[in-house]
Structure 1
């Protein structure tokens, strides 16, 4: 990779890591489902030029939007809200990788070797290990919700592998357009304080929302797609693994979240396991390697 592209990959990883912080700031102000609806509504508006009918693929796009936009991000944001922090959430979000491999074996009948099996065991084992940390134990509800969110993202990734020639911006636009209304209806039916949250929105809340919409969803995903077109997934995978590391660093620096030895060990085991999975997946099937998500 050229130095500018290395810098670009590092910046994208840092953006995804900081997205956990921005999400927490936004969720401290907005109800979780309402924040999710706002994110996708704004994404749909900004990416409306990419909302074009893709013949023969709209059914698949619809279900991808349901799995990723509605279910994944709902549980992700509920998890961040319940956890009250970002460090454990950043690590747990990486369970998307082992879930994706497990679903590929079940649904697509793929075969995997001992290395990816080891990676799956390490990924889940690491999260379980850090879950017994006294600090993280108080956040178990949030950690469980984020793990559940990873399962829905994995389903979405499996569905994405079934369609071709749908650009990243087009997919993001359709996810936003399809997800917005159901999320808003569910929010209005189950949450309160949406109007007050909008009227009392300060620069921090507005900035958090703008960050996850513009910087994370549009700029970072667009940049990652630019790199994918030029380099093998196996080259980019290590940069994707830096996203949760950046998330943990930002959580410690900005929110003074405590880091214990158990957390470090558990997080390291998880990330090594995810790294094994992603590297082997990229070697066996370059199109199957999951894109980092935050």
Structure 2
């Protein structure tokens, strides 16, 4: 065990408070995206978010003196991670036009399940134990029940199946990004460089897609749109990720990961409170099964 790992400590009040705050902020993000979509196209919104955050991360890395341009063998993996990251947010932003914020929160945060499976298959030493396999099975049973609920009880905007599928695909793409980072030289690169790959590549990808779709001509620049972009890019894609990386350096990652179930819980709560999303008994049961699976997957043997 390295000296750095030995100095990482159990969670204290500061870490717990920050994790709850981060999970709440991440959970609110789906509601903010959905409310902003009528004023700014979904793909353009995602591209601008990534572009602003990329500039902030670049400035922060330059201020810290982080080496960004040295040839360290991360370019290919970084481009792949960026494309996966961009595809993930394409699915999230477009999917929210076809499903509720509450449902998107649950399907998106199946990512830890897909991550565990991906690491088991592609990264040596990351094998699942029996309890984690139980979590995978429980979560996928919850996903199946959630899909069945969406088919049987569509929301006021119609069937949620397309949005639900895009949400689950986004979760799988998020997991694929994590596997690429963990299984390549990016795992040893500075966190800001890894994040800059994802934000920079996704910004170019999504902005080009938005321009091709003509979304740049339908934007309504209002105070709410500016506030939404500030929240998504400055507070979420920049500040919250930096806080997360700081927490990972200071505290035990295994303890921090247990909080991952709080984000979809906040997402569902904000969807119900702010968007008046309907949550039936079946979907509530499905969400509990998915959250239980996440908790089991994050437990050590």
TM-score, structure 1 as length reference: 0.88
CA contact 1:65–1:176 (8 Å) conserved in 2: yes
Name the CA distance, whole Å, in 2 between partners of 1:76 and 1:140: 14
1:76-155 equivalent positions in 2, closer than 5 A:
76-83=92-99, 85-108=100-123, 110-133=126-149, 134-135=153-154, 138-155=159-176
2:281 matched residue in structure 1: 261
Q: Deviations over 1:8-64 (max 9, x none)?
A: 111111111111111212223222221111111111222223372242212211111
Q: Does 1:194 align with 2:216?
A: yes
2:4 matched residue in structure 1: none
1:176 matched residue in structure 2: 199
TM-score, structure 2 as length reference: 0.86
Name the CA distance, whole Å, in 2 between partners of 1:77 and 1:278: 27
Secondary structure of the 1:82 match is coil
Q: Deviations over 1:111-141 (max 9, x none)?
A: 3222222111111111211222214682111
Distance apart, 1:256 and its partner CA: 1.0
Distance apart, 1:167 and its partner CA: 2.9
- Equivalent residue in structure 2 for 1:22, among 32, 40, 45: 32
CA contact 1:28–1:81 (8 Å) conserved in 2: no
Q: Does 1:248 align with 2:258?
A: no
Structure 2 unaligned blocks of 5 or more: 1-10, 63-67
Secondary structure of the 2:164 match is helix
Secondary structure of the 1:4 match is helix
Structure 1 unaligned blocks of 5 or more: 284-294
1:158 matched residue in structure 2: 179
Aligned residues: 276
Q: Does the C-alpha gap of structure 1 residues 74 and 238 become closer, same or farther in structure 2, counting only changes over 3 Å?
A: same
Deviation above 4 Å: which 4+ runs of structure 1? none
1:207 matched residue in structure 2: 227
Secondary structure of the 1:212 match is helix
Name the CA distance, whole Å, in 2 between partners of 1:186 and 1:6: 39
Alignment RMSD (CA, Å): 1.8
Name the CA distance, whole Å, in 2 between partners of 1:174 and 1:101: 23
Secondary structure of the 2:289 match is helix
